[in-house]
Amino acid sequence: MTEYDVLRVFCGADGRHGNELAVVRDGSAVPDALDRQRLAGKLGFSETVFVDDPERGAVDIYTPTLRLPFAGHPCVGTGWLLDLPELVTPAGVVGVRLDGEFCWIGAQAAWAPPRTLLQYGSAAEVDALEVPPPGEWIYAWAWQDKAAGRVRARAFPGRDDGIDEDEATGAAALLLTERLGRALNIAQGRGSQIMTAPHPDGVVEVGGRVLLDGQESL
């Protein structure tokens, strides 16, 4: 049996929604990459994290079908859970800080997997979108209030792995922030909230609320 924590990352102000995440704190329980991929597929969350060194914060991240060198919501959730100043991912060292009810990570936009960022004319147009066919990873967005930096977004991974729409996507928010060059307050999915802030050194901070739903085993 493999034990794992279930978190919700980028929850709304009411504590609802957020993107589910599984974190296997004892990565040595599943040392083989193929076994990790199988477990991530069985769990079916957008991402599953295996902690290989809890003191250094070394992590390994999987979707149901592939391994990722970096991902936003897994790093925010795992950073909050382990309460460490940084995480070590294959892409690079991710800074972590807790600020009140928010957990923030700092990362480079170049670490994020490619996403197609599609701007729409209104939030209503984004709300009305149907899930596109598999193939392209699409982040659909529109301004809700441009002056205030408020964005409405939806994410469609297009991997044909059971995740038709991502409830909250930190890496895509990071890319959008890097493109626009300004802090954003993103309402994504059914009711998730992602906060971002670019820095002069090229690091983009991505933050949100994290809640622990419990511990399970498989």
The per-residue pLDDT for 80 is: 98
Q: Are residues 79 and 129 in the same domain?
A: no
> What is the extent of the structural domain holding 142?
116-205
The per-residue pLDDT for 212 is: 98
The per-residue pLDDT for 200 is: 92
The per-residue pLDDT for 132 is: 95
Q: How many domains does the chain have?
A: 2
Neighbours of 83 (CB within 10 A): 10
Whether 106 is in a domain gets the answer: no
Contact, 46 vs 166, CB < 8 A?
yes
Whether 81 is in a domain gets the answer: yes
Q: Are residues 92 and 152 in the same domain?
A: no
Q: Are residues 124 and 198 in the same domain?
A: yes
Range 161-187 average pLDDT: 97
The per-residue pLDDT for 115 is: 95
Q: How far apart are CA 25 and CA 147, in angstroms?
A: 41
Q: Are residues 91 and 129 in the same domain?
A: no
Average pLDDT over all residues of the chain: 97
Q: Are residues 15 and 58 in the same domain?
A: yes
Q: Are residues 66 and 149 in the same domain?
A: no
Q: Are residues 153 and 199 in the same domain?
A: yes
Q: What are the tokens at 8?
A: 């919700």
pLDDT band at 125 (very low <50, low <70, confident <90, very high): very high
Whether 103 is in a domain gets the answer: no
The per-residue pLDDT for 150 is: 98
Q: Are residues 84 and 149 in the same domain?
A: no
Which helix (H) or strand (E) segment holds residue 113: the answer is none
What is the amino acid identity at position 160?
Answer: D
pLDDT tens-digit readout, 136-153: 999 999 999 999 999 999
Range 112-136 average pLDDT: 96
Q: Are residues 183 and 138 in the same domain?
A: yes
Q: Are residues 181 and 213 in the same domain?
A: no
pLDDT band at 17 (very low <50, low <70, confident <90, very high): very high
The per-residue pLDDT for 194 is: 98
pLDDT tens-digit readout, 33-56: 999 999 999 999 999 999 999 999
The per-residue pLDDT for 155 is: 98
* CATH code, 77: 3.10.310.10
Contact, 116 vs 125, CB < 8 A?
no
Q: Are residues 161 and 88 in the same domain?
A: no
Q: Are residues 121 and 183 in the same domain?
A: yes
